């Protein structure tokens, strides 16, 4: 039995992991119109909008109206981290409203966040535009097991970095080491938190939504 457009729309958002605004942008349809439908202020939309949404999801109009979605898991891109560039704290998007990337094979989307590299201080391992995936064990901690590893971290000034984290000269201080021999290191800085990079995806492999 075919669904109402409102039911199909909600099913599409759930299956794709996209917010209503992101789905509207991807499909090239009116966000305000979709919001009215979802709020029950109007019961239908034109067939062209439904077709555009189905096409944005990579399915037929018939599959969209039948609620037949592939349900590809996605991960939110929280923002950018500096690899030489100075980038403000990256948790800048409302939950679920940031850019999305298809979840890499073998990685669970639960509790995982992606960030985009900006700068070249981690060349040749990480390049600008690459995506890094990580999980935070605590909101304000630097676990001992991150020392010596490549990490996504936030310093006390609110800047986000991807660096190799090493113990500083005093307790509570850390050295942030660049892999690029021509780039600067950051010595004896305080960190709010650090999390090991779980997966690196070159920019040309990432499937963004």
Residues 5-28 have pLDDT tens digits of: 888 888 788 777 788 898 899 889
Q: Give the percent of the chain with pLDDT over 70.
A: 87
Mind spelling out the 3-state secondary structure of the chain? CCCCHHHHHHHHHHHHCCCHHHHHHHHCCCHHHHHHHHCCCCCCCCHHHHHHHHHHCCCCHHHHHHCCCCCCCEEEEEEEEECCCCEECCCCCCCCCCCEEECCCCCCCCCCEEEEEECCCCCCCCCCCCEEEECCCCCCCCCHHHCCCEEEEEECCCEEEEEEEEECCCCCCEEEECCCCCCCCEEEECEEEEEEEEEEECCCCCCEC
Identify the CA nearest to 25 among candidates 66, 4, 56, 70: 56
Identify the CA nearest to 56 among candidates 75, 69, 43, 38: 69
**φ and ψ at residue 10, rounded to 5 degrees:** -65, -35
**Neighbour tally for 198: CB within 10 Å:** 14
Residues 106-149 have pLDDT tens digits of: 777 778 888 889 899 999 999 999 999 998 766 678 999 999 99
- Whether residue 188 is predicted with pLDDT greater than 60 in this model: the reply is yes
- Whether residue 166 is predicted with pLDDT greater than 90 in this model: the reply is yes
Higher pLDDT, 48 or 199: 199
Higher pLDDT, 169 or 41: 169
Q: For all residues of the chain together, what is the average pLDDT? A: 84
Average pLDDT, integer, range 57-80: 78
Residues 106-115 have pLDDT tens digits of: 777 778 888 8
pLDDT at residue 149, rounded to an integer = 97
How many Cα atoms sit within 13 Å of 98 on the Cβ side?
A: 18
Contact 194, 152 (CB under 8 A): yes
Q: What is the dihedral of CA 44, 46, 47, 51, to 10 degrees?
A: -100
Residues 191-201 have pLDDT tens digits of: 999 999 999 99
Find the distance separating the first CA and the last CA of the chain, reported in whole Å.
29
């Amino acid at each position: 039995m075919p669904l109402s457009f409102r039911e199909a729309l909600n099913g599409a958002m759930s299956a794709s992991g996209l917010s209503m605004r992101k789905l509207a942008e991807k499909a090239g349809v009116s966000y305000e119109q979709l919001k009215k439908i979802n709020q029950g202020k109007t019961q239908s939309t034109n067939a062209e909008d439904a077709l555009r949404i189905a096409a944005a999801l990579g399915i037929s109009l018939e599959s969209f109206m039948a609620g037949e979605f592939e349900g590809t898991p996605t991960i939110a891109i929280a923002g950018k981290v500096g690899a030489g560039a100075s980038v403000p704290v990256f948790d800048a998007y409302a939950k679920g409203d940031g850019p999305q990337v298809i979840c890499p094979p073998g990685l669970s989307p639960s509790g995982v966040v992606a960030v985009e590299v900006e700068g070249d201080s981690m060349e040749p391992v990480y390049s600008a535009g690459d995506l890094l995936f990580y999980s935070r064990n605590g909101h304000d901690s630097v676990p001992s097991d991150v020392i010596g590893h490549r990490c996504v971290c936030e310093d006390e000034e609110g800047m986000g970095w991807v660096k190799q984290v090493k113990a500083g000269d005093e307790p509570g201080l850390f050295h942030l080491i660049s892999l690029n021999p021509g780039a600067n290191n950051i010595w004896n800085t305080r960190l709010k938190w650090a999390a090991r990079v779980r997966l690196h995806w070159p920019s040309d492999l990432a499937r963004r939504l």
